[in-house]
Amino acid sequence: MSGFGVSAVQFGAVPGDPGANRQRIAQAIRAEAAAGAKLIVLPELAVGGYHLDAARLRAAAEPAEGPTATLLRGLAAEQGVTLVCGFCEADGDRLFNSAMLVTPSGALALYRKLHLFDGEKEIFTPGDKGLVVAETPVGQIGLCVCYDLRFVEMARGLALLGADLLAVPTAWVGGFDKAPRDEGGFIGQARGAVVQANLNQLPMVCASQSGQRDDMRFLGASLVVDAWGACLAGPMEEDAEGAARAVLDLERIRAARRRSERVRPREDRRTDVYGLSVNGRSY
């Protein structure tokens, strides 16, 4: 496969109502598959809603092999799509802010958010599975969640592990970036994704929550960026529900790693001066 459709689905998940949210997720997946998407990314904590009520999060939590995995496996096979969805994972007494990836064949990859944001630190356990890249029909997909993008080692590490693109479930909120949404509709987090996509030759499909839920105001701004740092779709408005849709091309993605015969960003790294250790291996 070369060119393929991608969708970054944006909506405001209902806090503490996984049943209603799974229905919304299923509707969105069918709609985006009908529109031609082969990769569909859903927001952070899309199943139980993004909030910081520990009791409600625990009540909505589920194991990796739980009802959401069952739902997504069925939809992935039915629609012939690869899916990425954020959820609250229960593993014994521990809660993780996790994302699962499911392919049409039923293969499941699990990522646990490494960098916990603000009040998440009081509820979730930091991720313990390292950086995750999964093989799919649309290429090698790296996973990260929201605040992870603040740490430039994440995208660079996933690129060095061989990711063709990065799927990013998010729930972008304001308060720490003081600059307002700019004339192009970009918030700081979205601009950061554009810059890192360019620097790492790594497309980004970022799917955010939107609107007002309880006391949380989400900024939306879901978008799709290519390996050259061009924004192909989005950023979406903060109250919008729907999807940012684009077409990516694996040949073009991989070609972007060499900008010219003399401009080869990955090969031009000075590993004699600096390096990066990813999942215990040095690059």
**pLDDT-based confidence at residue 179 (cuts at 50, 70, 90):** confident
At the second CATH level, the architecture of 3-282 is: 4-Layer Sandwich (3.60)
Mean pLDDT along residues 77-83 = 98
Burial class (CB in 10 A: 0-12, 13-18, 19+), 105: exposed
DSSP 230-282: -EEE-PPPTT--EEEEEEEEHHHHHHTT-SSSS--TTTT--TTT---EETTEE
Q: Are 43 and 169 in contact (CB under 8 A)?
A: yes
pLDDT at 34 over 70: yes
Q: What are 97-106's pLDDT values in tens digits?
A: 999 999 999 9
Burial class (CB in 10 A: 0-12, 13-18, 19+), 262: exposed
Q: What are 116-142's pLDDT values in tens digits?
A: 999 999 999 999 999 999 999 999 999
Q: How many CB atoms lie within 10 A of CB 88?
A: 26
Percentage of the chain exceeding pLDDT 70: 100
Whether the model pTM is above 0.95: yes
Percentage of the chain exceeding pLDDT 90: 94
Rounded Cα distance, 43 and 25, in Å: 10
Mean pLDDT along residues 229-252 = 97
Do you find a cis peptide bond into 137, omega within 30 degrees of 0?
no
Rounded Cα distance, 8 and 206, in Å: 6
Mean pLDDT of the residues in the chain: 96
Mean pLDDT along residues 35-57 = 97
**pLDDT-based confidence at residue 1 (cuts at 50, 70, 90):** low
